[in-house]
Chains A and B, each alone.
Chain A
Amino acid sequence: MALVDARRVSSIQICRVLESKLHQDVRGNFSKVFSKPQQALVQREFRPREIFSSTSHRGVIRGMHIQTAPHAVSKLVWVTKGVIRDVVLDLRNDSHTYRCFLVTELTAESGALYVPRGCAHGFEVLSDEAITNYAQDGDYAPTHDTGVAWDSFGVDWLTKIPIISERDSKLPSLSDFDTPFLMADSQ
């Protein structure tokens, strides 16, 4: 069994938060999470094909999810309500941060997190309710939809007994995940 590299890293190559301003006035808030300035921060052109939204209770963990080739996707993740602790796990075999993970807190003020191809994504909910939205640049492909078990790669989740789907609880552990991803997939 391979050892899990549990180093916490500050940066996973080309994974980053694309900041956007949260405008506030008497009506409420407004934020543009993706437009030309954010596109300019991403190496490859990002053209959303699918968009989805989820609402989750405190203590929910969703993840770690990834789609394999030829249906690999890049994702944007942004929060419009509540607080999540977002986790990105690098599964690109030749990346110098392979098997390392990035933990970022996301709220409505954060902007969108860009998750490149070859990185698995998940999060835990730290507020009573959190609304998380996603855009991805390829279609959902159930036959290529896989992931890594949330508790198999060393993240110190704040949630100790999470509410998690049966599917997510049965994902392979990182040490059993035979990764097909390379850096070239995300560039």
Chain B
Amino acid sequence: MTDNRGEFSKVLSSAVRDELRYDFLVKELFWNSSHRGVIRGMHLLLSDDQAAKVIWVTSGRIRSVVLDLRHSSRTFGRHSEYSLDSAAGLLIIPAGCANGFEALADDTIVNYAQEQDFDASKEAGVRWNSFGCNWLTVEPVISERDQQLPRLSEFESPFE
């Protein structure tokens, strides 16, 4: 919704829950801001309780990538891409899928709500350039930690 004051958008609500047919239980809220050319990812949580994550963008634009790491899924090992900006609404990332993004604009803000409490021992990921994603960013600004994540071929997914 846009008016003379600016924009307003509802991210999570009972209508969204009804549409998802899922009672999303928020335990953590966090956000990051990124310059153009930053890649963050691919991250996932090794949880047993099917904890999901939702993301939404409030400034700038990203290409968000979701990588399916659930063995029994028909799309195991495959990824999909979503262009997100402040008009896009939310993206839900189910348990067992890794998520990352490239920032396509300066001053891009990505927000997260997560169903699981932080536990460093449950943090995992897959290297950004190891699963066939055709990133638009050729030489990304990326953290050392993300650069050293295991390749998809080395990643032993605990998700059935």
State which residues 1-15 of B face A: CB under 8 Å: 3-14
Least distance between A128 CB and chain B CB atoms (Å): 11
Output the residue of A48, A60, A62 with the most chain B CB within 10 A. A48
Main secondary structure of the interface of A (DSSP, over half): strand
If over half of B's interface residues share one DSSP class (helix, strand or loop), that class is named, otherwise mixed; here it is strand
Q: Compute the total of residue contacts between A and B using a CB distance below 8 Å.
A: 130
**Of B58, B117, B141, which one neighbours A53 at CB under 8 angstroms?**
B58
Most buried by B among A47, A54, A108: A54
Interface contact B31-A51, CB-CB below 8 Å? no
> Which stretch (A33-41, A95-103, A150-158) binds chain B?
A33-41
Which of these, A27, A78, A129, contacts B142 with CB under 8 Å? Answer: A27
- The answer, yes or no, to whether B26 is at the interface (CB within 8 Å) is yes
How many of B's residues come within 8 Å of A, CB to CB? Answer: 40
17 more CB-based (< 8 A) A-B contacts, given A27-B40, A31-B30, A57-B5 = A28-B34, A28-B35, A28-B38, A33-B29, A34-B29, A48-B113, A50-B10, A51-B13, A51-B26, A54-B6, A55-B58, A55-B86, A60-B5, A76-B29, A80-B111, A81-B107, A112-B29
- Using a CB–CB cutoff of 8 Å, the interface residues on chain B facing chain A are 3-14, 25-35, 38, 40, 56, 58-59, 86, 103, 107-109, 111, 113, 117-118, 141-143
A residues lining the B interface (CB < 8 Å): 25-36, 47-57, 60, 62, 76, 78, 80-81, 108, 112, 129, 131, 133, 135, 139-140, 163-165
